[in-house]
Structure 1
Amino acid sequence: MPGQLVLVDDEPGLRDAIQAYLEDSDFTVHTATNGAEGWELVQRVLPDLVISDVMMPQVDGYQFLETLRSDDRFQATPVIFLTARGMTSDRIQGYEAGVDAYLPKPFDPDELIAVVKNLLGRQAKLQAAAVDDETISIAELARQMAEIRALLQQKGPLAITPPPVQHDFTPREESVLELVVDGLMNKEIAKRLETSVRNVEKYVSRLFSKTGTSSRTELVRYSLEHGLIRPNSTI
């Protein structure tokens, strides 16, 4: 469970106390004093989770979060806000900006640890779902995909219908989806897109979430049946 965390807070005493408490729970904690410094830090560390204050000089928590969510690498990274502002409107603003949890100061350190572990556990499950099909042989996965395409071809063009909802895929997610449908596994996709396997796992888990699927086979079937990706006749 313990992983790499980034903590962004401009109060030295509180920042040091939180860092010490998290490190006592075996987390590796990297710290920054404001949103601008935090953004530089997360790009170097690629953390498993980010904890940020809201009221900070130069770049506040909301601006920092907006920058995070605008980058494909951090769209799925769990983010916790720590703030003295406990108004409902402030919490709503945080959730709308894409924060995963919101703890108003003062808070119990044990509650923070519980929230961190909960979010990391949830993230781990998503990533596990994204890679569980890695245990399936490439030949077996190819066979399953071939069956899906054969079934669609038997049903004819009407089998492919418009998606029931608008899918807000990022360009990188679309690239990953195309390669998943082509039968490539995560390591192969990472090599093709010149990125890390970890990032591919995050993209695949987001595709699961956005399409309501839970495996690569389901994702391929859903994509073909809803016209998200046209069948590739060469596979």
Structure 2
Amino acid sequence: MDLSNTDDDDDDDDNVFQRRNNQWIVLVDDEESIRLAVGDFLYDRGYDVTACSDSDSLLQLIIQSQEQQQKSQAKDNNGNKDNDDDDDFRIPDVIISDVRMPDSDQNGYELVELKVLLLPKLKNIPIILLTAKAMTEDRIKGYQCGADVVLPKPFSPEELLSIIDNLIEKKERRRNHNKLDEIKSIMTQNSSKMVERTDIVLSNKERQLIELLSDGYTKKEISKELSLRRDMKDDDLNRVLEKLYTKTDTQTRTELLRWARRVGYIN
């Protein structure tokens, strides 16, 4: 048996598990057996999972998350320079919902439609609908309502896991691409091809941080990326960022990136 790649495979598995630890999956199903079985399976694969018995519980969960984040921000606002992140409150990364929930006022189809009306920020959450019927009409209705995937029961747990991984990866790529486009747009506004002379010298860590910021990474994503690279401890991030602000006489991420572009640290 060839064991030469065993260590690499173990490292890959650890990285996948660590990435999933930062993702929040909400499962909505009125059957407790389904909530326990699917919830435990996803939890064992690394995901942060919350199970709800109906859509009302889900909406209440999101409202509580919003309220907790608002309280936390109120405490942290004093002296916090980097308030331009758009993570106002935590929302699920993926919602999995059963289509038929007799004891709930809303079924899975209505939940898909309601999330767009409730809060604009919720409209980009991928939704997987679970249906006991494999009929084409049910799948079409699910997609027409805005579901990303309609998965008929019974399904393979490994298939569900692959679907979730894929949806989250696509969402992250889309979000990073949008952030990058936004930053590039800001950088090109009233920009000049001339590069200003500067006596400010940046360390390797500071250069890495600026490059990740210019690629559209949030503070949370930067912390995760540098942690995986083992180039910077999580508690070093704020210290390096504050030092950058002081050295460059800037106060926000946008100002910092404008300065970096002017002096030629980024294109």
User: For this structure pair, what is the TM-score category when the shorter chain's length is used for normalisation?
Assistant: 0.5 to 0.7
Q: Give the deviation of 1:141 after TM superposition.
A: 3.6
Does the alignment pair 1:59 with 2:103?
Answer: no
1:103-157 CA distance string (max 9 Å, x none): 1000000000000000000001011112335876xxx944x2237xxxxxxxxxx
RMSD: 2.7
Higher mean C-alpha deviation, range 127-136 or range 41-50: 127-136
**Identity among equivalent pairs (%):** 33
CA distance in 1, matches of 2:186, 2:99: 46
Residue 104 (structure 1) aligns with: 152
Structure 1 unaligned segments of length 5 or more: list them.
Answer: 148-185, 187-195, 199-235
1:48–1:120 Cα contact (<8 Å) kept: yes
Residue 50 (structure 2) aligns with: 30
Q: Residues 1-235 of structure 1 correspond to what in structure 2 (within 5 A)?
A: 1-2=19-20, 3-43=23-63, 44=65, 45-56=90-101, 57=103, 58-70=105-117, 71-132=119-180, 141-142=186-187, 144-146=188-190
**Which amino acid counterpart does residue 39 of structure 2 have in structure 1?**
Q
For 2:190, what is the secondary structure of its paired residue?
helix
Structure 2 unaligned segments of length 5 or more: list them.
Answer: 1-18, 66-89, 192-212, 221-267
1:15-49 CA distance string (max 9 Å, x none): 10000000011000011101121222233351111
Please report the TM-score for the alignment, with normalisation by the length of structure 2: 0.51
Please report the TM-score for the alignment, with normalisation by the length of structure 1: 0.57
Aligned residue pairs: how many? 148
Residue 228 (structure 1) aligns with: none
Structure label with greater radius of gyration = 2
CA distance in 2, matches of 1:121, 1:35: 25
CA distance in 1, matches of 2:135, 2:160: 19
Q: Give the deviation of 1:197 after TM superposition.
A: 9.2
